[in-house]
Chains A and B, each alone.
Chain A
Amino acid sequence: MPWTRDQLAERAAKELKDGFYVNLGIGIPTLVANHIPAGMTVTLQSENGMLGMGPFPTEDEIDADLVNAGKQTITELDETSYFSSADSFAMIRGGHINLTILGAMEVAENGDIANWMIPGKLVKGMGGAMDLVAGVKRVVVVMDHANKLGESKVLKKCDLPLTGTGVVNLIITTLGVFEVKPDRSGLKLIELAPDVTLEEIAEKTEAAYEVAL
C-alpha cells in the first residue's frame, strides 16, 4: 500500500531531531507538525517572520497580525520571536535552519528540484522556495511518486524549470524513500512503503538508483 498523505507526513517527521529549527512547506509538509514526537523540542520557522509557530487559533484567538507563510491564521508560543523578512531569510540563507520539508513537482537523481513553475500554465511565483532549497542545511522532499498522468516524478533530469540544483538530500514518495548521495552521483533506495515491491518501484521510477534497503 502506498503511503497516504498523513503517513508521508509521519515518515517525514522521522527526519526531525531534538533541538532542530525547521521550516515546513505548504501542503503535506504542514502536516508534519502533527507528528512531532512527544518530548522533542522542534521550533518551527515561518519565513514571513516568526520562530516558534503555535497551532491554529480558536475563533477567539484569531489575530489578523499573526499569520504563517501560507497566510493562515496561527498562534504564538512562549518562546516565539518575530522579525523582518530580511532577518528571516538571513536565517534561511545563512544556514541556520536545520531542516526544510517541501513538496515538489519533480526531483532528479542529482538532487535537482522543480516545484514552482509549469511553462504554459499560470505562474504564481516561487515565494521562498528557492531561498529555502539553497540555504537550508538539509532538504527533504515529500511527494507523490507519480504525477496525475502516472509518470515518474523521480527523474534522471528535471523537465520543468528548476527551483534549485543539487540541493535535495532525501526524497520521500508515496512508494518509498530515496537518499541523494552526498556527492550528488545518484540515488539510493533505502525504504519501501508497506507491501510495495522492488518491481513496482522499478516500473514506476525513471531515475537510476541503487537498492540499499
Chain B
Amino acid sequence: MPSSPKVFPDAKTALEGLAFDGMTVMSGGFGLCGIPENLIAALRGSGVTGLTVISNNAGVDGFGLGQLLTTHQIKKMISSYVGENKEFERQYLAGELELEFNPQGTLAERIRAGGAGIPGFYTATGVGTIVAAGKEIKRFGDRDYVLETGLTADLSIIKAWKGDARGNLVYRKTARNFNPMMATAGKVCIAEVEEIVPVGALDPDTIHTPGIYVDRIVQGTFEKRIEQRTVRSSSEAIAQNKTAKEEA
C-alpha cells in the first residue's frame, strides 16, 4: 500500500482524534447497502455518546447503525425511514431517542446543499404536510415551496468500492446512494473501501468522488449483509431469457 497522509491502516486508527461526545455524524448507505461497516464498528469501539446521526436508515438490530443503538451512543437520528429496527422502536417509544424524519429526497438534497455551501433551498416536497410545519413557504409561479436548510456534520463516514491514496473514489451499483453527498458535507470525511488501488489506476473520467472531499481512507473487510434476499428460480430465469430473446 502506498504511504500517504490520507491512508490509514484500519478504521480504528482512521477515527483517532475525530470522535467526541455530542458530535454530529453522517453515515452513508441505503438500508444495509453501501454502509461503512468498519467505521461504524470503530465508532462503537470509541465509546463516544450523545451522537446525532444523519443517515437515511438506522440499520437493523445489531448490524450497521443498529450497533450504536444497542450501546445507547445515539441521541438523535435524522432519517427518512427507520422501519427495520426493533431496538430503535423500543428506544424511540421509551423517549430515549430523538428522531427527525426528512423526506428522502429532501434529506439527500439537504446534504448535497450543505456540502456545496448552499445554506437553504426551496422544494415542493412536503408542502401542506407536517414536514413543512413552522418552515417558511414561498410561492414561485403557481406553486408553493418550503424552505429546507443545508446539512453539514462534524464527521462523515462513507463506503466506496475502490479508492486511491489521494482519496479519489468509485462506488459500485446501488451501494453509491447517499455516500457521494455525505463525502462533501462532513468537516472531515473518512472513506472505507474494498480496495485501495495505486494512484493512476482509476480512470479519471470515471471517478465519482474527487479526492478533495476525502480526508482519510482505509481499506476494510465487509460482511455486506442483505436485508431482503429476493430470488427467482432458475427455471423462471430461463423462461424470461427465452421470452426476451424471442422479443429481440
CB neighbours of B14 from chain A (8 A): none
Q: Are A131 and B127 in contact (CB under 8 A)?
A: no
B129→A164 contact, CB < 8 A: yes
Contact residues, B18-46 vs A (CB, 8 A) = 30-34
Q: In the complex, which residues of chain B have a beta carbon less than 8 angstroms from the beta carbon of A70?
A: 228
Q: Please, how many angstroms separate the alpha-carbon atoms of A84 and B29 in the complex?
A: 10
How far is the CB of A100 from the nearest CB of chain B, in Å? 13
CB < 8 Å: which of B56, B92, B103, B177 contacts A131?
A: B103
Q: Is there an interface contact between A126 and B103, defined as CB atoms closer than 8 Å?
A: yes
Interface size class of A (residues with CB under 8 A): 35 or more
Interface centre among B111, B124, B236, by most A CB within 10 Å? B124
Q: Which residue of B lies closest to A48 (CB)?
A: B30
A63-B181 contact given A85-B30, A89-B108, CB 8 Å threshold: no
Q: Which listed residue, B161, B229, B234, touches A62 by the CB 8 Å rule?
A: B229
What is the predominant secondary structure among interface residues of chain A facing chain B? loop
Contact with B along A10-53 (1 / 0, CB 8 A): 00000000000000000000000000001100000011111000
CA distance A166 to B77 in the complex (A): 30
Known: A39-B247, A65-B224. A125 touches B79 (CB 8 A): yes
- With A59-B231, A93-B123 as known contacts, state yes or no: A165 contacts B237, CB within 8 Å: no
Q: Which residues on the A side are within 8 Å of B226 (C-beta)? A: 62, 64, 67, 73
Shortest beta-carbon distance from B40 to chain A in Å: 16
Within A115-133, the residues touching B (CB, 8 Å) are: 122-131
* Partner-A contacts on B (CB < 8 A): 30-34, 56, 79-84, 89, 92-93, 101, 103-109, 111-112, 123-131, 161, 171-181, 208, 224-234, 236-237, 240, 247
8 shortest interchain CB distances as A-B pairs: A89-B105, A124-B83, A131-B105, A165-B128, A125-B81, A64-B224, A130-B103, A85-B108
Q: List 9 A-B contacts (CB under 8 A).
A: A49-B174, A67-B227, A73-B226, A84-B208, A90-B109, A125-B79, A126-B80, A131-B103, A131-B125
